[in-house]
Structure 1
Amino acid sequence: MTYAPEQQQARRPRIYVAGGSNAVGRPYTFLPMAGWTQALPLFLTEAVEVVNCARARASSKSFRERGRLQWILEDMAPGDYLLFSFGQNDIKPDPGLHTEPFSSFTEQMAAYVHGARERQGHPVVMLGYERRRIDRHGNVARFLGDYTLAARQLAEDEHVPVVDLYGQSLQWWEELGPEATKAVFTYLRRGEPLQPNVLDGDNVHVRAEGAIECARFVARSLLEQGVIPAHWGRGLDRTRFDYDEMGWLDEETFRRRTASRVSTFPGA
């Protein structure tokens, strides 16, 4: 997609987010589970638009092969940003998802970098948060392991900014410990109904409170590194939030976005 100069001026700059279920925008039927991208607009002004293209169970490979990366690239205008994070599903043995950290994973991730740059956009590598796997001594398991190392190495080789939510999450989970981390992940509290799409005791996906803190860290990192302009930030020290601010989607909007943000020419 090619934008005329007047079209580029007519819309706000955009931050496109590509990733898996940790970032995906959730409908109301997933309460209290939330993707961190839902909370990102809480810390950014209306000078920029967040376009959440993350999809549940997506790996760097499947996201690209199903035309989701291509849709972003076709929609991008010069000066837009592409923030992408994978690894949680790349590790799975499913051949439609699996990649090897220092070979096929790196090759897939490089396509996001090069694609954004070809469209005069700004690629940003994000290292996603670690799962809640903590032993009785308070040590957090490094589940993502080599995928995080490979993503960091790619960023260094390609001179791409990195948002290290992974390292920050290790610090958070170790400081909180086995019990307090349950308030961050999807563990239901007294009186909360069990939704059909939610598993109580989910150690992979965060609830709204966790999503907010992840989004706060992402926004702060982008601002402190000078990746995005300083005037785009807001409310980084804010402490009180309402669930209604989280941008929960109705089922129809969720289905429409999932179906529509796919290029009909995924191999382009």
Structure 2
Amino acid sequence: MDSETGVLTIFDTALPAEFRLRAVLDSNPQISKDYGVVIYGMKYDFGASNSVSGYVKITPDTFYSEDTGFGIDPHTPVRARVIDEKEPISGDYLYADSCFRFQQKLPPGNYRIKAVFADTAQNNVSVGVENVPTQRFRSSEMYDNHIMKETVRFNSEKSAELVFDVAVVDGVLDIDFIGNLVNKTQYKAVVNALEITKLPTLVDSDRHTLFIAGDSTAANYSAGDLMAGWGQMLGEFLGTNFTVNNRAIGGRSSTSFCRDGRLEEILLNIRPGDYLLIQFGHNDGSFNKAERYCGNDDYEMLYAQYYIKGAKQRGAVPIVVTSVPMYGFSSTATLGTYVESAKRIAEQTNTLLIDLHNDALNYYNNLPGTQKDKEEVVKSYYILDKKGGRDFTHFTHAGARKMAELIYMRMKELDLVP
């Protein structure tokens, strides 16, 4: 910064930074308003040839460190290859036999990534981002709990580009390059160049959106289906005050919802003042299904460090909703542990809680009439054998509407809705 001219010069090798500037004098400590300055000099050229103006060179020895804030994960060593020394970007690259990771320290927020690939022989490279280490997916050799973006496909072009957006929550962007195994051919993991750009920060809007992250008990179903989720009914109670964006989908747990990129899609679009309702638990205990299973410790970690933190970072209001109960008048053992985990993490993170699980059970048990009368009402709320099977989990339209009503009543008590 030149104090005489007031010119701030940012060099190509500048590391990411955010700060505020204002002019000051000894006699007048503030003679101008604050100006926000964001520096993201994040253009990287991978390989061993000479560096390119405007790019930071990444060689096989450029390992990630807290000091530099960028580099290759040392657990996945890479090698360099030069194709054409005359081509500054496409002429060289880094590669690994199967996979490697590049990491970039970043302030939480949303970013756009452009990756360049220029070896047409490596025609089957996939890109994943933001690996979330949960117990079933911890490995230093394979990154299989990340969000898969796209796979590189060359046609007649000499190079290919992938452009995608990423929501960074934990302060470090992970980008995984994976060489796929196709018909017994192992393609190498490669990349020639990367550009990382911060997306504009979304601002508050006149009409807020209520996002829902959850499983099949909250999901949308077709109008003709006997089954319904509470998420598709909630708008009936909210009226025109909110737009409901229901991202809940069947068969998902807290971990698979992340891995599918569904939480990321919410975080890329959520704005200050929006709400995020979070309800998982029914599929997290599926120990025999690795793609779903999430133990209680990891469940609480994901809620606290990704769902809740990600929403709060973006100025939104997260609301933990405990899982709806199975058919009956009391909680089941496995599901009950996730209900307790959800309640515990809401308290620990000072996050709003709607205990839908116990609200629903209390409602069932306090219905008027005899126990038989109560059972008839509760039976009308669940699918049971109405679709030819034995489904003790999912709701009819009447049951989904009742769950939505219970949520709405709690939201009113919390002064979240009129």
Regarding TM over 0.5, the answer is yes
Q: Deviations over 1:99-136 (max 9, x none)?
A: 111x11101111100000111111100012110146xx
Cα distance in 2, alignment partners of residues 90 and 108 from structure 1: 12
> Normalising to structure 2: TM-score of the pair?
0.48
State the 1:79 CA deviation. 1.1
For residue 344 of structure 2, the aligned residue among 153, 160, 173 is: 153
Alpha carbons 1:40, 1:212 under 8 Å: kept: yes
Q: Deviations over 1:141-192 (max 9, x none)?
A: 4441111111101000100111111001222343465444211101467xxx
Alignment match, 1:130: 325
Cα distance in 2, alignment partners of residues 124 and 41 from structure 1: 16
2:382 is the counterpart of 1:185: yes
Cα distance in 2, alignment partners of residues 104 and 13 from structure 1: 31
Q: 1:178 to 1:229 in 2, by over 3 A?
A: closer
In the alignment, residue 151 of structure 1 is paired with which amino acid?
Answer: A
Secondary structure of 1:39's aligned partner: helix
Alignment match, 2:398: 209
Cα distance in 1, alignment partners of residues 402 and 333 from structure 2: 20
Secondary structure of 1:87's aligned partner: coil
For residue 12 of structure 1, the aligned residue among 176, 183, 207 is: 207
Q: Where do 5+ consecutive residues of structure 2 fail to align? A: 1-198, 368-373
In the alignment, residue 404 of structure 2 is paired with which amino acid?
Answer: A
Q: 1:163 to 1:131 in 2, by over 3 A?
A: same
Cα distance in 2, alignment partners of residues 60 and 4 from structure 1: 25
Cα distance in 2, alignment partners of residues 95 and 188 from structure 1: 28
Alignment match, 2:236: 42
In the alignment, residue 13 of structure 1 is paired with which amino acid?
Answer: H
Q: 1:223 to 1:123 in 2, by over 3 A?
A: same
Q: Deviations over 1:57-111 (max 9, x none)?
A: 000000001100000000111111110100100011111111111x111011111
Alignment match, 2:179: none
1:243-262 pair list within 5 angstroms: none
Alpha carbons 2:328, 2:378 under 8 Å: kept: no
Cα distance in 2, alignment partners of residues 59 and 99 from structure 1: 7
More helix by share: 1
RMSD over aligned CA atoms reads 2.0
Q: 1:183 to 1:24 in 2, by over 3 A?
A: same
Count how many residue pairs are aligned between Structure 1 and Structure 2. Answer: 212
Alignment match, 1:172: 363
Alpha carbons 2:215, 2:279 under 8 Å: kept: yes
Alignment match, 2:413: 224
Q: 1:171 to 1:142 in 2, by over 3 A?
A: farther
More strand by share: 2
Cα distance in 2, alignment partners of residues 66 and 4 from structure 1: 23
State the 1:12 CA deviation. 1.7
Alpha carbons 1:131, 1:143 under 8 Å: kept: no
1:30-69 pair list within 5 angstroms: 31-69=225-263
Secondary structure of 1:15's aligned partner: strand
Q: 1:34 to 1:206 in 2, by over 3 A?
A: same
Q: 1:4 to 1:35 in 2, by over 3 A?
A: closer
Q: 1:158 to 1:185 in 2, by over 3 A?
A: same
Alignment match, 1:91: 285
Alignment identity in percent? 28
Q: 1:2 to 1:92 in 2, by over 3 A?
A: same
Secondary structure of 2:227's aligned partner: coil
Alpha carbons 1:129, 1:169 under 8 Å: kept: yes
> Normalising to structure 1: TM-score of the pair?
0.73
Secondary structure of 1:144's aligned partner: helix
Report the structure number with the largest CA radius of gyration: 2
Cα distance in 1, alignment partners of residues 353 and 219 from structure 2: 20
Cα distance in 2, alignment partners of residues 81 and 61 from structure 1: 20
Q: 1:143 to 1:126 in 2, by over 3 A?
A: same
Alpha carbons 2:360, 2:406 under 8 Å: kept: no
State the 1:28 CA deviation. 3.5
In the alignment, residue 48 of structure 1 is paired with which amino acid?
Answer: F
Secondary structure of 1:55's aligned partner: coil
Alignment match, 1:2: 200
Cα distance in 2, alignment partners of residues 65 and 202 from structure 1: 27
Secondary structure of 1:108's aligned partner: helix
State the 1:47 CA deviation. 2.2
Q: Where do 5+ consecutive residues of structure 1 fail to align? A: 190-197, 231-268
Cα distance in 1, alignment partners of residues 202 and 233 from structure 2: 32
Alignment match, 1:251: none
